[in-house]
Structure 1
Amino acid sequence: MILCPIVDDFVYNTMRDEILFKQEHREKLIQLTNKKILIDSRKQTIANAINQYLDSIFNYLDGETNRVLFPLPIIYDL
């Protein structure tokens, strides 16, 4: 998936000195979906960007559009 670099970086930096994946790590990972990234020239939460990305893929496959929206894997501060 296009957002794997963001999740991988987050998990690596959060879990660097940890052995077990704890509840606090899960909560931080869920909170990551509220961070902003750029998609279609607009800043959106990661959760919204995933929906827009998937909608654009389905619309492309249905022939409703000729492009797929790709989010940039850069996190912006809120």
Structure 2
Amino acid sequence: MPSKTYTEEFKRDAVALYENSPGASIQTIAADLGINRATLHNWLKKYGTGARTKTGTAEGPDPRMVDTEDLIRKQISG
């Protein structure tokens, strides 16, 4: 089975999504994006800042996070 090739922008967006999603696990983000957990982990080591934001409250998620999710979904589907 051939491996998929992802753009650097997609990889960085995936890392940003994880880093800006408080409480979300690597497994959850990877599953949402349709990628392997180990793949996301490798991208985090390469592109990650090592910090996770504490944004998002009981009222709802950080609006910037939603925009990133939408962007990644569009890249996957199109």
- TM-score when normalising by structure 2: 0.36
Q: Which has the higher helix share?
A: 2
Q: Which has the larger radius of gyration?
A: 1
Q: Which has the higher strand share?
A: 1
Higher relative contact order (CA 8 A, sep 6+): 2
- TM-score when normalising by structure 1: 0.36
